[in-house]
Chain A
Amino acid sequence: MKPIILLPAVALLIAAPFGLKPYGIYLLSLWAVMTIAAIGLNLTLGYAGQISLAQGSFVGIGAYIAALMTTQGWPLGVAFAAAIVLCFIIGWLLGYPALRVAHHYLAFVTLSFATLVFLVLRNEEWLTKGVYGISGIPRPALLGWSTNAPLDFYFFCLVILALVSAATGWLIRSPWGRAFTALRENPMRASSLGVDTRRYTLMAFALGSALGGVAGVLYAPLVQFIEPTAFALGLSLNLLLMVIVGGAGRFFGPFIGAAVSVLLPEWLRFSEGLYLMLYAVFVMLLLAFCPSGLLGLGERARKSWKPFSKSAN
């Protein structure tokens, strides 16, 4: 995207929390965290075309790693490294079924995995403390900068989001991004052109899952108390919705989708109990009329605007 749009957007994100109450800042931080998880899923689903209903489980794995390690006195940086490595490996293994099945069958395979992770988080009390959850998760301090206050922690999330965005942006503009797209559009043709579809499929799962882990490591100190239900199927479905509502396979899709998912319910609060219904109707209308998501809608609007501006010249 052009710097003319990007720079004001970044400025807005930096200015946004000032003047907000702690709850508003919490929502912004949650947006940043969910965006990271959705960026990961967008890589797996949007670019490489592999459906996953388990992204929330990787957020959960990351969050529990962070919670368990930081409450034992380990620095958050180590938790980041552990979560990235572990989620990468588990994601790689989860990719193997994708080599055999696709589409809704793959959705069910990943759904089973999500259920499995939830059961482990709930039942293996010796590790996860089960339904009691883990509380008192500390926020990190970096070189003397404590991120205890909501505002500081928001900026910490924003920095991680910036790093993740830069890395993902590099990746999808590299030959890998092209190979992922080819994998999504026509795996048979891709392999006949030398693309090792097996390796790229596994890589798409592993990288997407690792980013889910990164989001989880941020989520734990954000909410400071985690319990298994937060990472049940609902979160995975919500992340899937973020990717699709924003625009799957578009770089900025997850940013928009996460904003809709995190902020819209708050704006619709005036409607009291109706807000989930309004959100549901909104999603149905969007997908019926513009399956390419909000960014697709934006592109369409821009294209239909162009002929006018040209004829004006």
Chain B
Amino acid sequence: METLLEVRELRKSFGGIGAVNGVSFAVHEGEILGLIGPNGSGKSTLFNCILGQLAPSSGEVRVDGRPITGMRPCDLNRLGISRTFQLLQVFPQLSVRENLLLAGQEHQGSMWSRLAGPKDAGLTAAANRMIEFFRLEALADERAGALSYGQQKLLDVAMAFMAGPRLVLLDEPAGGVNPTMLAGLRERLRAINAAERATFVVIEHNMEFVMSLCTRILVLAEGRIIAQGAPQEIRSDRGVIEAYLGS
């Protein structure tokens, strides 16, 4: 398997307190990697450092062997790396369809061609496919702010996929989503993974969701990787149990 994302000795400290303390791992093309760990173990900080929302204190991130450390989030996104945030982040004043159009529009043409071109940047069909795929048809023209939390969460995830990314980092996609909708979300993610060979890294506290979705799991505690392996290995790992229970 090809290595898609490589993180080497990544560190991030906030005023002397280390949030991420030398994390190294690789993500292979087509895999669904789970990233678990107790609250405050540095998962979201790790995502933010990989994707340019935060500047790492040291270390390196590579995509396809090419260093991307220090690149701006918008440039990384246009390289085909997408993400969702832990807290819901849709644009409440825009309609569901407009949210999706926005998520796709910056990936084609120049700024000037977008100004002169069609209002939908030629993406209405693609947005409608995404709306259908995530079963948001009835809500397509609603303001995103008027949707329920779970529906907004689906839209949030749909936006991350709108531009056909190769690598998607999902920060707690299952948080606050009801069980029925969650099963649907898992099926959607699996389908995209199978059809597009899209690679995912998923932060999640819902163990059932992570164990059933991911092909491999990394466990983070106090900013370090303390275990990695297949879901069933992680389930029985003593160190992991201790980190969670704090024995």
CB contacts under 8 Å to B, within A173-198, are 173-176, 178-179, 181-182, 185-186, 188-198
Between A175, A178, A197, the greatest number of chain B beta carbons within 10 A of the residue's beta carbon is seen for A175
C-alpha gap A176/B94 in the complex (Å): 13
C-alpha gap A84/B85 in the complex (Å): 40
C-alpha gap A153/B107 in the complex (Å): 45
Closest A residue to B113 by beta carbon equals A175
CB contacts under 8 Å to A, within B52-107, are 53, 72-74, 77-78, 82-83, 85, 89-94, 98, 101-103, 105-107
- CB pair B74–A182 under 8 Å, yes or no, is no
- CB pair B106–A193 under 8 Å, yes or no, is yes
| A129, CB-defined interface residue at 8 Å | no
Least distance between A299 CB and chain B CB atoms (Å): 13
A191-B111 in contact given A179-B102, A182-B94, A182-B102 (Cβ < 8 Å): no
- CB pair A196–B115 under 8 Å, yes or no, is no
A185-B111 in contact given A192-B77, A192-B82 (Cβ < 8 Å): no
A186 contact set on B, CB distance < 8 A: 89, 91
A119 contact set on B, CB distance < 8 A: none
- CB pair B93–A178 under 8 Å, yes or no, is no
Secondary structure dominating the interface of A? helix
Which residues of B are in contact with A by a Cβ distance under 8 Å? Answer: 51, 53, 72-74, 77-78, 82-83, 85, 89-94, 98, 101-103, 105-107, 111, 114-115, 117, 119, 121, 159, 162-163
- Given A193-B77, A193-B162, A194-B78: 19 more A-B contacts, CB < 8 Å: A175-B101, A175-B105, A175-B119, A178-B98, A178-B101, A178-B102, A178-B105, A181-B94, A182-B94, A186-B89, A188-B73, A190-B102, A191-B74, A192-B51, A193-B82, A193-B103, A194-B77, A194-B103, A199-B111
**A and B contact pairs by CB, cutoff 8 A, 12 listed:** A174-B117, A175-B115, A178-B94, A178-B98, A189-B89, A190-B91, A192-B77, A192-B83, A193-B82, A193-B102, A193-B159, A196-B106
